[in-house]
Amino acid sequence: MKKTVRAHTNIALIKYWGKRDEELILPMNSSLSLTLDAFYTDTSVRFDETKTEDEFYLNDVQQTGSSLKKVQVILDLVRQQSGISHKAVVESQNHVPTAAGLASSASGMAALAGAASAAAGLELSRKDLSRLARRGSGSASRSVYGGFVEWQKGTNDLDSHAVPVDDADWDIGMLFILLNKKEKAVSSREGMKRTVETSPFYPSWVESTEQDLIQMKDAIQNRDFDTLGKLTERSALKMHATTLGAVEPFTYWEPDSLVAMELVRTLRSEGFHCYFTMDAGPNVKVLCRMSEAKELQRHLASRFGEDHVLLSGIGEGLKELS
């Protein structure tokens, strides 16, 4: 049986940064994200008794090495749970603009978890889909749901999963300022590990993020956009500060990242409701009011170029296409 599932990407407003268990992918802190509709992955899976190896095609190109290995983590878990021993054929189409340089592991691993479990005949709850996606990539646990989503760090494999927080249907959008599509020098997996193990700033990150998360959930409940935005910026800046204390120190920022952050601050001082965030790369994302997004996009595009500023609305959770 072949099953096809779509998952959208998500951007964390309270970041996930650091694991306490690398195999189970259990995080040091809970995180909170927004699922977005502009970027998504469609993945088909079928288990095939005639195959002697798993096959993984990404945008029609067969993958080997570490990319295939990540997919096999999920396939093996599904085989274990379903009792199926056949190899699988996995076909993924990533709908992320080629120049974007945006990570796709969140939508990719979530779509794979959905398609592989459905193809194996497992009827998993959303909670169990989130747990399965988590094993591929931490951030993927959040792409199971739409809108604002919290990944609760939990205490073990069973209770570390995402929960929906709010559908975000209240004048919210996100702009993506695409600065660089180069492969990052320090992968997020390696960056987190190095920071947890060596940065003296790391304990303060974990401690203070707990408070930020409580405050952010209050802000969402009260639809208090400016508090939401301020907490978003604070979480990103604190996460990136931890990397400067690591041994060897590193940063994902590039000169243009700073230019973009400063421009967001300037536009805010001119009356726009906009707040930046950054992940494990130089691109800057801007949380904004959807009603102001087009005008903001024009301002940002006049500095970074039209092709480099993309707008997204709110996305929905995992969806079975066929």
In angstroms, the CA 69 to CA 136 distance is 10
- Binds ligand 2P0 (CB under 6 A): choice among 130, 137, 199, 235: 137
Distance of CA 148 to the CA centre of its chain: 12
- Binds ligand 2P0 (CB under 6 A): choice among 138, 146, 282, 317: 138
CB of 277 to ligand 2P0, least distance (A): 9
Nearest residue (CB) to ligand 2P0, 3 versus 29: 29
Nearest residue (CB) to ligand 2P0, 239 versus 311: 239
- Binds ligand 2P0 (CB under 6 A): choice among 4, 5, 8, 12: 12
Does position 105 interact with ligand 2P0 (CB under 6 A)? The reply is yes
Nearest residue (CB) to ligand 2P0, 28 versus 90: 28
Please identify, among the stretches 13-21, 59-67, 82-90, 261-269, the one whose residues bind ligand 2P0 according to the rule CB under 6 A.
13-21
Contact (CB, 8 A) for 110 and 143 = yes
Please identify, among the stretches 8-16, 34-42, 166-174, 306-314, the one whose residues bind ligand 2P0 according to the rule CB under 6 A.
8-16
Give CA angle at 246 (186, 108), nearest 5°.
Answer: 35
Identify the sign of the CA torsion 30, 33, 39, 45.
positive
Does position 139 interact with ligand 2P0 (CB under 6 A)? The reply is yes
Give CA angle at 218 (212, 219), nearest 5°.
Answer: 85
In angstroms, the CA 74 to CA 109 distance is 8
Nearest residue (CB) to ligand 2P0, 138 versus 173: 138
Q: Which tokens go with 285?
A: 């994302």
CB of 44 to ligand 2P0, least distance (A): 22
Does position 15 interact with ligand 2P0 (CB under 6 A)? The reply is yes
- Cα torsion for 45, 50, 56, 62, to the nearest 10°? -140
In angstroms, the CA 304 to CA 17 distance is 28
In angstroms, the CA 42 to CA 92 distance is 6
Contact (CB, 8 A) for 279 and 240 = no
Write out the binding residues for ligand 2P0, residues 245-284 only, by CB under 6 A.
279-280
CB of 122 to ligand 2P0, least distance (A): 22
Number of residues this chain uses to bind ligand 2P0 (CB under 6 A): 14
Please identify, among the stretches 111-119, 122-130, 133-141, 299-307, the one whose residues bind ligand 2P0 according to the rule CB under 6 A.
133-141
Phi, psi of 89 (to 5 degrees): -110, 120
Please identify, among the stretches 115-123, 132-140, 157-165, 220-228, the one whose residues bind ligand 2P0 according to the rule CB under 6 A.
132-140
Give CA angle at 40 (101, 276), nearest 5°.
Answer: 55
Residue with tokens 């004048």: 171
- Binds ligand 2P0 (CB under 6 A): choice among 7, 25, 174, 220: 25
In sequence order, what E strands does 141-190 have? Answer: 148-152, 161-166, 173-177
Nearest residue (CB) to ligand 2P0, 89 versus 243: 243
Taking the alpha carbons at both ends of the chain, their separation in whole angstroms is: 10
Does position 189 interact with ligand 2P0 (CB under 6 A)? The reply is yes
- Binds ligand 2P0 (CB under 6 A): choice among 104, 160, 188, 283: 188
According to DSSP, the β-strands at 148-152 and 31-48 are antiparallel
CB of 151 to ligand 2P0, least distance (A): 8
In angstroms, the CA 32 to CA 8 distance is 15
Binding region for ligand 2P0 (CB under 6 A): 12, 15-17, 25, 31, 105, 137-139, 188-189, 279-280
